[in-house]
Structure formats: structure tokens, C-alpha cells
Amino acid sequence: MTAPDHPTNGSVAAREVGLDEPAEDAPVETHPLSHVELGAPPPLPAGGLRVIPLGGLGAIGRNMTVFEYDGKLLIVDCGVLFPDVEQPGVDLILPDFTPILDRLDDVQAIVLTHGHEDHIGAVPYLLAHKPDIPLVGSQFTLALVEAKLAERRIQPYSLTVREGQRERLGPFECEFFAVNHSIPDALAVALRTGAGLVLHTGDFKMDQLPLDGRITDLAGFARLGAEGVDLLLSDSTNAETPGFVSPEREIGPVLDSIFAKARGRVIVASFASHVHRVQQVLDAAAEHGRKVAFIGRSMVRNMGIARDLGLLRIPGGLVVGLEEATALPPDRIVLMSTGSQGEPMSALGRMATGDHRHITVAPGDTVVLASSLVPGNETSVYRVINQLSRAGAFVVHKDVARVHVSGHSPAGELLYLLNVVKPKNLMPVHGEWRHLRAHARLGVESGVAPDGIVLCEDGDVVDLVDGRARVVGHVRSRYVYVDGLAVGDVGESLLTERRILGDGGFIAATVVVDSVTGKVVGGPTVSQKGFSEDPAVFEPVVPLITEALDRAAADGVVDPHQLQQIVRRTVGRWVNETYRRRPMIVPTVVEV
């Protein structure tokens, strides 16, 4: 069972969006074309390529795109979305696999552009349906995925590829290109079929001085542009941000300055996959005579993989275990931790609340949040900053020092890519709606024909036929919630109940009635959780319930369900008039 369509995407009236030609010097703006609500897509025309985004549009996360050609499917990325405050109790949000579950035998492979959770996190859930779907990706990406799958006792068939390599996966000829991102070994993929040439950039930026010397392959993209790119799917995350990205190496001197001034422990929180950021922390620690301890399960695992693959350079004796670290003087230690997004159960989150078993934040500690704020996490992050500050720590974050640079290309670089690739059609992906629309405007400014811009939401079906990309239908693409070990058992109605419980508390009203006459013979008893600390708060409503049930009995109402609704309405009306609140009310009528 899956959740209903997510309201963020469901409110969009038009899925194919045209772009007016702007007046001279006027800003380019988008407007929806009128059309009937999209139904199921028609059969794919012979020689056409079908593109179905099942995630990644309208939100940052859950990236997954399905390509269909000649009866075969190819999947690019399969990631998760992390929940926000409107999804209490949810651990992860998956793409809806329903549109392809009956066609898993047609899936030639899952191509993974890089190893971030929003691109690989849902792979174990898809392989649970068919474990032998091949995985294709770079060495580091596959190592991260295989470590996750090992925990579920899944041994995948995987094919390691590098930039410059070509592989035929069924009817899809795939060529891979190096792209720079905030994780090593990221790739873009070009798909060649009889329908044309498609370029999917994955997540990328154009850092011209990357720490690993691996730059985005603009020459390769230019070669594709000369060949003729029929459809470009491109990262939209920073499409609203002007200019060009700052080099990652600019963070090194900032960290060096922070370490030089620190007199106590230094605690650095970052994404557990940001190898280049961790490398700069290691370099700064070595320069200032500090040992480093990794904290957090994913941090320890990922840095171990990066070290084994030669992506992380660790001088001998620099990294120590947590027990050894806690025995060192405060000015000799750096703790490299997870929790940069304010996750309450992360290592830094537990340090902030004093719940970590080994580390207690103390005055004199310096805490560095070396990451961006993922949209939706701002409240959690600032809560952690305040908790750390209250404990006496000096907290450094991106608002006060350059301790983070983005892994996504801003508008200047996106325009550069568009001018190099010269796509006939542009489909902005990976972003919220504001990012997608901003990217669409950039496309028109760079010369893409307005009718070649295709703005979609998850589940829209785009066909590339005779060089033209058009939305032709829609398939259900719902949020699938993971809650503990349950997958898909939580829906929007249950989340609504959880939100009500969190906002207004819970009231239980129990009454015993005669099964023949319907008259009250016991109770009513009213109890609550999360509503009030006054044990006598409900004394005024008890006689109101009795009166309402007595009137119902006099009218011959004896059905337990009807009596429950009377109790619910009576309590609800009293609570609203007395407190102007809307708690969850659960009535119980027991017949004797």
C-alpha cells in the first residue's frame, strides 16, 4: 500500500509548460499551457524514447528516472527523500515503484550517477523485489551501495564503469563522463538510442581547481553538443543562484584559521560522504598536531571505504579510536562527526542534547557545521546550534564563515553547460519547483526553443519522438513511506492523525450503555494525553456527555456507532468552545 499523491506536486495544474518569447530587456517568465488533465500514457510510438521521472521533481531527493526504448527499461538513480516535520515518525520516503513492478524483467540495469543517499538510498528496496537487477556505477558509488546491500544480505551483480567508458545495456548505449560534485567519482551518462541522444548530468558543478584534480568533462559535453543532443536532463538545485561555484579548496584556509584559534576540542560535522571535506579536516588536524576520531556509523563506514580505494589520504597515526580520543587532552583532538543537518539521533544531535555515551560538549569546544542546509532542515539545524551554544561551545557555520561550498552548479555554470551542449529539448530535474522554473528560464535565455522546454512533475510521461519531447500522460507516483521495518504501511491519513496528536493531544471518552435501552449505566470516563496537566480538566464535560446520550436513548438511538459519534461531537464542541483547540477524540461505547 502506498501513500496518496503528495500535495506539493498534486497542486500543479499544468505539467507541460511553455515559455513566452520575452520582450526586449524583459525577464523571461513561464506560464502554463491549458490542457485537459493527463491520463494514462498511450503506447510508445515505434522508435520513440519514453522518459518517466518517478522522483526528484518538486523536491530535493528521491531521484529516479526510468527510460524506455524498444520494450526495455533503464533506470538512472534510485534515491530516498528525507522527511520533514509534516511527516512525523517517517524514516525515509521512497519513489513509488508501482509503474515498473510488473516489468522488472525488462529492466536492463540501474545506472547510479553518484553515491549520495538521494540517489542510491532506495536501491535496497527496489532490489528486494528483484535482487538480480544489474547495478552500474563508479567504483566508489558501487562500494557505498554494496555496503548497504550487505546489511540486507543482498549480493548484487554490479558493473564498475569509469569516465570515457561506453557500455551497451540492452538497446541503450551508455557513455559516461566525469563530473565534479561534493562526493568523489560522480558521473554523467549519455544514452544513445534510435530515438536520439539524451544526456543526464546527475548532480554536478564546475570546480576548476578540485582537490582530486577531476574536473567536469566540458570537452566531452562539447563533443556531444556537436553530435546533437536531443534531450538534456540537468541538475537544477542552484538555478536561482547567480554566478559560479567557489572552489572546495577555499575551505582549507578557513579550517586552518579555526584550528589555530581553538583551545579545546574541535568537533566538525559534515555529510558522511563528503570525502574532500573530510580530507581538508584531516589536513588541518595534522598541521596543528591533533588526532582525529570518526564518530557515527556512516562516517566510519564511508571513510573506511574511501581510504581503501585511495580516495582519502590518512597519514599514519593520525586517526584514532573514540576511546583513545577521549583520553587525550582537549587541544589534541578533532572529532569528525555526522549530524550536520540537525538529525536528532545523529552523533552531533546526541552531543547537543547531552545524550551521547562518550562525548559531552563543554565550554571551550569549537563545533564546525561544514555543510549546507538541506531545504526543510533549517529549524532542526538552528536548534542544534542553540543547544551547542548553550552548552558553551563556539559554533561556526556557513552563515559566519566559509566552511561550506555547494556541490551544485549555479546559474552561470548552467548557462555555460547549455551553451556547450546546445540541446534541442531541456528537461530540468533535481530541484524544487522554483529551481525547475529558474532552470527553464535559463534554457530559453541560452537559445532553447520555448516549445523545447519540458517542465514536469513526478509521474509525468515524456516521449521523445522525431526530436521533439512532449508530455503524453501520467502514471501514479506517490510518496512511499518507510516507518521502521514497515514499507508503504503509512499513508496520508495516518500522518494527518499523527500531526493532530502532535498539535492537540489525545482525548479518550469511554461510556457503558444498556444494550437494549441505550441508557448510560457506567461512566462517562474521560482521559487524555498531551492536552492538559490538570486532572480535573474534563469534569465539566462529563454531564454534557450523559445528557446527550440520554436524549439519544429517548429518541430510540441504540446503535453503538451512532452513540460514539454523539460522544465525539459533544466532547469536540465543548473543547472547541472552551479551549479553541482540536485534539484527537476517540470515543468508546461499551454495551452491557
226 by Cβ neighbours in 10 Å (0-12 / 13-18 / 19+) ranks as exposed
* For residue 420, pLDDT beyond 90: yes
Residue percentage of the chain with pLDDT more than 90: 59
Q: Looking at residue 14, what is its pLDDT?
A: 36
Q: Contact, 453 vs 443, CB < 8 A? A: yes
* For residue 589, pLDDT beyond 80: yes
Asked which of 63-67, 154-158, 239-243, 586-590 is least confident by mean pLDDT, the reply is 586-590
| Rounded distance between C-alpha atoms, residue 186 and residue 179, angstroms | 6
Q: Looking at residue 485, what is its pLDDT?
A: 67
Give the DSSP H/E element, type plus range, for residue 577.
helix 560-579
Strand 486-487, strand 480-483: pairing: antiparallel
Which residues in 426-550 belong to E strands, given as ranges?
A: 426-429, 460-465, 468-474, 480-483, 486-487, 506-513, 520-529
| Rounded distance between C-alpha atoms, residue 112 and residue 136, angstroms | 6
Give me the mean pLDDT over the 184-190 stretch: 97
Q: Contact, 531 vs 509, CB < 8 A? A: no
| Rounded distance between C-alpha atoms, residue 463 and residue 49, angstroms | 6
| Mean pLDDT, the chain, integer | 87
Q: Looking at residue 537, what is its pLDDT?
A: 86
Residue with cell 526553443: 449
Give me the mean pLDDT over the 538-545 stretch: 88
Residue 424, CA distances (Å) to 47, 68, 441 in order:
18, 19, 15
Residue type for position 137: G
Residue 302, CA distances (Å) to 275, 287, 368, 425, 443 in order:
8, 23, 20, 37, 37
For 313, the 3-state DSSP assignment is: coil
Tens digits of residue pLDDT in 317-376 = 999 999 899 899 999 999 998 876 656 567 787 888 887 888 888 899 999 988 876 666
Residue 21, CA distances (Å) to 132, 263, 448, 450, 467 in order:
49, 59, 11, 7, 21
Cell of 310: 585511495
Residue type for position 540: P
Cell of 432: 524544487
Domains assigned to the chain: 47-244+406-487 (3.60.15.10), 248-396 (3.40.50.10710), 505-591 (3.10.20.580)
Q: Looking at residue 220, what is its pLDDT?
A: 97
| Rounded distance between C-alpha atoms, residue 68 and residue 263, angstroms | 58
Q: Looking at residue 206, what is its pLDDT?
A: 96
For helices 297-308 and 139-150, give the axis angle rounded to 10 degrees. 140
| Rounded distance between C-alpha atoms, residue 534 and residue 209, angstroms | 64
| Rounded distance between C-alpha atoms, residue 360 and residue 122, angstroms | 34
Q: Looking at residue 354, what is its pLDDT?
A: 81
pLDDT-based confidence at residue 521 (cuts at 50, 70, 90): confident
| Rounded distance between C-alpha atoms, residue 368 and residue 340, angstroms | 9
Cell of 377: 532542515
Give me the mean pLDDT over the 117-136 stretch: 96
Q: Contact, 295 vs 269, CB < 8 A? A: no
pLDDT-based confidence at residue 398 (cuts at 50, 70, 90): confident
| Rounded distance between C-alpha atoms, residue 239 and residue 428, angstroms | 10
304 by Cβ neighbours in 10 Å (0-12 / 13-18 / 19+) ranks as middle
Q: Looking at residue 180, what is its pLDDT?
A: 97
The residues facing 235 across adjacent strands are: 429
Q: Looking at residue 372, what is its pLDDT?
A: 73
Q: Looking at residue 430, what is its pLDDT?
A: 95
* For residue 258, pLDDT beyond 50: yes
Cell of 376: 526543510
Tens digits of residue pLDDT in 486-518 = 676 677 777 776 667 777 788 888 988 888 877
Helices (runs of H) and strands (runs of E) counted in the chain: 17, 27
Q: Looking at residue 534, what is its pLDDT?
A: 82
Asked which of 397-401, 402-406, 474-478, 497-501 is least confident by mean pLDDT, the reply is 497-501
Q: Looking at residue 362, what is its pLDDT?
A: 87
Q: Looking at residue 182, what is its pLDDT?
A: 93
Asked which of 18-32, 280-294, 395-409 is least confident by mean pLDDT, the reply is 18-32
Q: Which residues have CB under 8 Å from 276's CB, separation 6+?
A: 182, 184, 210, 211, 212, 248
Cell of 542: 462529563
Asked which of 108-112, 298-302, 565-569, 579-583 is least confident by mean pLDDT, the reply is 579-583
Give me the mean pLDDT over the 190-219 stretch: 96
Q: Could you tell me which residue, 258 or 380, shows the higher pLDDT?
A: 258
Residue type for position 266: V
Residue percentage of the chain with pLDDT more than 70: 90
Q: Looking at residue 344, what is its pLDDT?
A: 59
The residues facing 197 across adjacent strands are: 192
Residue 158, CA distances (Å) to 103, 112, 133, 273, 421 in order:
20, 11, 9, 20, 30
pLDDT-based confidence at residue 37 (cuts at 50, 70, 90): confident
Tens digits of residue pLDDT in 548-580 = 888 888 888 888 888 889 888 998 898 888 888
Q: Could you tell me which residue, 381 or 297, shows the higher pLDDT?
A: 297
Is the previous residue joined to 583 through a cis bond, with omega within 30 degrees of 0?
no
Q: What number of other Cβ atoms are within 10 A of residue 10's Cβ?
A: 12
| Rounded distance between C-alpha atoms, residue 525 and residue 512, angstroms | 9
Residue type for position 537: V
Tens digits of residue pLDDT in 67-107 = 999 999 999 999 998 877 677 677 788 999 999 999 999 99
| Rounded distance between C-alpha atoms, residue 298 and residue 305, angstroms | 11
| Rounded distance between C-alpha atoms, residue 435 and residue 417, angstroms | 16
Q: Looking at residue 360, what is its pLDDT?
A: 85
Q: Could you tell me which residue, 130 or 23, shows the higher pLDDT?
A: 130
pLDDT-based confidence at residue 33 (cuts at 50, 70, 90): very low
Q: Looking at residue 377, what is its pLDDT?
A: 66
Q: Looking at residue 342, what is its pLDDT?
A: 55
Q: Looking at residue 505, what is its pLDDT?
A: 81
DSSP state of 587: E
